[in-house]
Amino acid sequence: EESQSFYDAVGGEETFRRLVRRFYEGVVDDPLLWPMYPAEDLAGAEDRLSLFLMQYWGGPGTYSERRGHPRLRMRHNPFVIGGAERDAWLRHMHDAVLSLELPEELEKRLWDYLVYAAHSMVNAPDA
């Protein structure tokens, strides 16, 4: 129905958890990205990204209850994110998005947002 949130339309929490689980399966095998992530707190990292995306798309506001205002660019300042890091992040996210097998229109909306967000997170010139 028209008024349904995107969060509900794609299947709610379970879908976002699957997306992020699959994304991190790619990240842990990525020699460029994995060193940036907290190996000792992979479950925590999965939780933070899942909760953020759920909140962004109209689900529960648990992310901000726990973490406050997202301020994502600021939170990424500790990490050097150039074009290569952005593209690697997007490659794993693309695999993850496709794995959901969403209806085309929903898939496109999710993917377009992720591409835009990833481009906005770049904070370093390419070497």
Q: For residues 9 and 118, which CB has a smaller minimum distance to ligand HEM in the complex?
A: 118
Segment 62 to 121, residues that bind ligand HEM, using CB under 6 A? 67, 72, 75-76, 79, 81, 85-86, 89, 114, 117-118, 121
The gap from C-alpha 72 to its chain's centroid, in whole angstroms, comes to: 11
Smallest gap from residue 5 Cβ to ligand HEM (A) = 17
Comparing CB distances to ligand HEM, the nearer of 1 and 35 is 35
**One-letter amino acid for residue 61 of the chain:** G
Q: How far apart are CA 46 and CA 86, in angstroms?
A: 18
Distance (Å, whole) CA 46 – CA 19: 10
Q: How would you classify residue 68: left for phi > 0, otherwise alpha for psi between -120 and 50, otherwise beta?
A: left
Binding site for ligand HEM (CB under 6 A): 33, 36-38, 45, 48-49, 52, 67, 72, 75-76, 79, 81, 85-86, 89, 114, 117-118, 121
